[in-house]
Amino acid sequence: MKTLWNRTFAWIDERVQLSDVMSFLGKKSVPVHRHSVWYYFGGVSLFLFIIQVVTGILLLLYYKGSEELAFESIQFIMAKVEFGWLIRSIHSWAANLFILSAFIHMFSVLFEKAYRKPRELTWLSGMILLFLGMGFGFSGYLLPWNEVSFFATKVGTDIAGVLPVVGEPLMVFLRGGEDVTGATLSRFFGFHVAVLPGIFTVMLGLHLLLVQRQGMSKPLSYEQLPATDQKTMPFFPNFMLRDLLLWLLVLNLLAILAVFFPWELGVKADPFAPAPAGIKPEWYFMFMFQTLKYIPGELWFLEGEVVGILLFSLAGLVWMFIPLWDKKSARGEENRFINYLGLFALIYIIVLTTIGWFS
């Protein structure tokens, strides 16, 4: 067995210089300090994304993306296909855990200032991945074609439509027409299983490549320690085994959630039925949605919603380009302003999400 393995390795190595990769992996190390635990969330997000790809492909074998058949095909998956209920439930739960894990990853990177030079592009690609992830969530939400998702999509796309100049064409582009219909379902299905995965994979490749090229970021306090006090751990196998153990724990958590709290399918969407009470977006859009409720209908000469959306877009841009304007962290100095900003954003999101959830 050993010789077969060695011979295979030697065969490949002779052709593609595999030993270079092995020596790179051997030298790779992870800084050890009291914030090391946050290093795991990027990996957890990656793991959950892989789960999404696998369960998504499985669902694709039975799902039918049309107004007449979408809801029924998911009923079929849940009732007739063996373990269909499990696959679908895992897909829904993992989607939510993925966004949660990506949010934790983003905030930990922010508080550690891990985005500072030379890792600006890693942060930027990560932000794009998070936006794409939310796009996955928004488009996937409609696919079961149930009452709640139908009206949530109406509201969501209508909000996009209030933007000045680009709003109307953007809304028509998203909906595939003036209204949310089967045409919207076809589009969202296409975005969800083809457009977004394609872009996401390229971005993810870039993100991971940057992490490999530059190695793990070190917190400022750690970097200032004398070289002899900078403890590290080999990536291979020490960190990787810990990573894998955590992935296993996440998989268990996912299985528990999917089995004991199965994802409901609800009632089929009927464009001629009144909207049911309690239409809410997914929790990760809730803080924005809840904010819009507090903005008065008219502000100065603009519609309240327009003001809200413009403010969120602006805040998003400022957030996305933090590495470019935070010169202090780039110079290796402590920047408390970022901590306050991060804390404010975190508390704002948690408070408004909670209010929205229970209202």
Partner 1 sequence: MEHPMVDQPQQSKRDFLRYFLGGGVLAWLGAVFYPVFAYLKPPKQGDVEVTSVKAGKLSEIEKESGTIVRFGNKPVIMVRTAEGEVHAFSATCTHLDCTVQFRKDMGVIWCACHNGKYDLNGRVVSGPPPRPLDEYRVIIQADDVIISSRT
Tell me whether residue 13 or residue 158 sits nearer to partner 1 (CB atom): 158
- Residue 276, interface with partner 1 (CB under 8 A)? yes
Binding string, 167-196, against partner 1, x = CB under 8 A? --x--xx-xxx-xxx-x-------------
First to last CA, the chain: 62
CB of 182 to partner 1, least distance (A): 11
3, 16, 229, 272: which one contacts partner 1 (CB under 8 A)? 272
Task: Give the separation between CA 216 and CA 228, rounded to whole angstroms.
Answer: 18
Task: Give the separation between CA 53 and CA 245, rounded to whole angstroms.
Answer: 21
The Cβ of residue 30 has, within 10 Å, a number of other Cβ atoms equal to 19
Tell me whether residue 169 or residue 205 sits nearer to partner 1 (CB atom): 169
CB of 128 to partner 1, least distance (A): 21
With CB under 8 A as the contact rule, which of the stretches 115-123, 150-158, 217-225, 259-267 interacts with partner 1? 150-158
142, 159, 193, 288: which one contacts partner 1 (CB under 8 A)? 159
With CB under 8 A as the contact rule, which of the stretches 18-26, 218-226, 275-283, 332-340 interacts with partner 1? 275-283
CB of 105 to partner 1, least distance (A): 32
Residue 120 tokens, joined: 């600006």
* b/e sequence 190-220, b meaning 16+ C-beta within 10 Å: ebbbeebbeebeebbebbeebbeeeebbbbb
* CA nearest to 66, candidates 161, 144, 7: 144
Q: What's the Rg (C-alpha) of the chain?
A: 23
C-alpha distances (whole Å) from 132 to each of 75, 99, 102, 126, 191 are 28, 10, 11, 10, 10
Tell me whether residue 1 or residue 165 sits nearer to partner 1 (CB atom): 165
Binding string, 18-57, against partner 1, x = CB under 8 A? ----------------------------------------
Binding string, 299-328, against partner 1, x = CB under 8 A? ----x-------------------------
- Residue 160, interface with partner 1 (CB under 8 A)? no
Binding string, 216-255, against partner 1, x = CB under 8 A? ----------------------------------------
The Cβ of residue 82 has, within 10 Å, a number of other Cβ atoms equal to 7
Which residues, in sequence order, are CB contacts of 37 under 8 Å at separation 6+? Answer: none
Task: Give the separation between CA 10 and CA 4, rounded to whole angstroms.
Answer: 10
CB of 303 to partner 1, least distance (A): 7
In total, the chain counts a number of residues equal to: 359
Residue 309 tokens, joined: 């959306």
Per DSSP, the three-state class of 75 is helix
Q: Which residues pair with 268 in a beta bridge?
A: 146
Tell me whether residue 25 or residue 292 sits nearer to partner 1 (CB atom): 292
Q: φ and ψ at 72, to 5 degrees?
A: -65, -35
- Residue 205, interface with partner 1 (CB under 8 A)? no
With CB under 8 A as the contact rule, which of the stretches 4-12, 94-102, 127-135, 296-304 interacts with partner 1? 296-304
Beta strands in 20-105 (DSSP E): 29-31
- Residue 358, interface with partner 1 (CB under 8 A)? no
- Kindly list the residues in this chain that would bind partner 1 in the complex (CB under 8 A): 151, 154-155, 158-159, 169, 172-173, 175-177, 179-181, 183, 271-279, 293, 297-298, 303
